[in-house]
Amino acid sequence: MRILFMGTPEFAVPSLKALIAAGHEVCGVFTQPDKPKNRGMKLQASPVKEIALTYDIPVFQPTKLRDGTALELIEARSPELIVVAAYGRLLPDEILNYPVKGCINVHSSLLPQYRGAAPIHWAILNGETESGVTIMHMARELDAGDIIAQTATVIDPDETVKTLYARLAALGGELLCTAVTAIEAGTAVRTAQDGSAATFAPMLTRELSPMDFTKTARQLHNQVRGLIPWPAAVTELDGIRCKIFRTTVTEERTEQTPGSVIQADKRGLKLACGGGTVLEINELQPDGKKPMPAAAFLQGHPMVTR
């Protein structure tokens, strides 16, 4: 099938590669404009652009989608189907209505749960035990279109965004090809979403970073693993602001006030949390420093237990 692909980050790469490997004609790729990165602020192409160029697929990076320019580019490519995977832009009606086979989206949640920009992070932040990928027809309302196919995966209680992101990206590529095959054959199902069951996954902000030790150790552990790599969970240790990258929920119980340091030695750094629970901090990054084990931090910053 002749397909126009829209995507930007690493999550979208397996979907693009899967379409190519399946023999579909990817007639063009839309991706976000190159952005300055690192200290040198050198413009860097998106992961999707880099892959498209290696396959000599034409790449387009419009800054606007509603002024008619993007539609002209699409009309010139004449795709039968548009596939979107984490493109980062909402499509106007004139684009949604153009392809004869429609526009479909690869979304990293089991819709109608976690509609929005950060479904993987919020699933972990909320302590979900299951996530998945949905292939859906696109509609004007965000992530509300009819479902074509879904696949689920278990979230390990200690899993971070990084590993779940990679697994869902791979599952998305596999499921996308199954859905496209069904669309091409005219056998794809359309299951309407139950809007009353919808939950949302808004964009992340730094306001989510501060750790509140009146919460349980499990809730804080979910915060740490759900905010990797950005904006990261943050707390103060020995008066120093630290990003927290790895923690362990212990089986210990304590009567200490939440936030109290109950162990700070070569055996570990443990803090009291809400409900009498205890959280061990394993890896952190003090401001201005590189990430380090908690034991290395304690060597330079001995802390008093109480």
- Does residue 240 sit in the same domain as residue 98? no
- Does residue 49 sit in the same domain as residue 188? yes
Number of compact structural domains in the chain: 2
Task: Name the residue type at position 11.
Answer: F
- Does residue 92 sit in the same domain as residue 187? yes
- Is 306 part of a structural domain of the chain? no
- Does residue 124 sit in the same domain as residue 249? no
- Does residue 68 sit in the same domain as residue 138? yes
- The predicted pLDDT at position 268 comes to 87
- Is 221 part of a structural domain of the chain? yes
- Does residue 12 sit in the same domain as residue 118? yes
- Is 183 part of a structural domain of the chain? yes
- Does residue 45 sit in the same domain as residue 144? yes
Tell me which of 157, 178, 201 is where a domain ends: 201
State the 10-residue block means of pLDDT for the chain, 306 residues long. Answer: 98 98 98 83 91 98 93 97 96 97 98 97 98 97 97 98 98 98 96 97 97 98 97 96 98 96 92 98 96 93 78
- Does residue 46 sit in the same domain as residue 169? yes
Two structure tokens written together for 21: 């490997």
- Does residue 16 sit in the same domain as residue 88? yes
- Does residue 176 sit in the same domain as residue 239? no
- Is 153 part of a structural domain of the chain? yes
pTM confidence score: 0.94
- Full DSSP string of the chain: -EEEEEE-SGGGHHHHHHHHHTT-EEEEEE-PPPEEETTTTEEE--HHHHHHHHTT--EE--S-SSSSHHHHHHHHH--SEEEEES--SPPPHHHHTSSTT-EEEEESS-TTTTEES-HHHHHHHTT-SEEEEEEEE--SSTT-SPEEEEEEEEPPTT--HHHHHHHHHHHHHHHHHHHHHHHHHT----B---GGG--EEPPP-GGG-B--TTS-HHHHHHHHHHSTTTT-EEEEETTEEEEEEEEEEEEEE--SPTT-EEEEETTEEEEE-GGGEEEEEEEEEETTS--EEHHHHHHHS-----
Q: How many other CB atoms sit within 10 Å of the CB of residue 61?
A: 14
Residue 94, domain CATH: 3.40.50.170
Per the structure, the complete domain to which residue 18 belongs is given by 2-201
- Is 43 part of a structural domain of the chain? yes
- The predicted pLDDT at position 306 comes to 65
- Is 185 part of a structural domain of the chain? yes
Residue 290, domain CATH: 3.10.25.10
- Is 284 part of a structural domain of the chain? yes
- Is 241 part of a structural domain of the chain? yes
- Does residue 183 sit in the same domain as residue 265? no
Phi, psi values for residue 89, rounded to 5°: -140, 145
- The predicted pLDDT at position 231 comes to 97
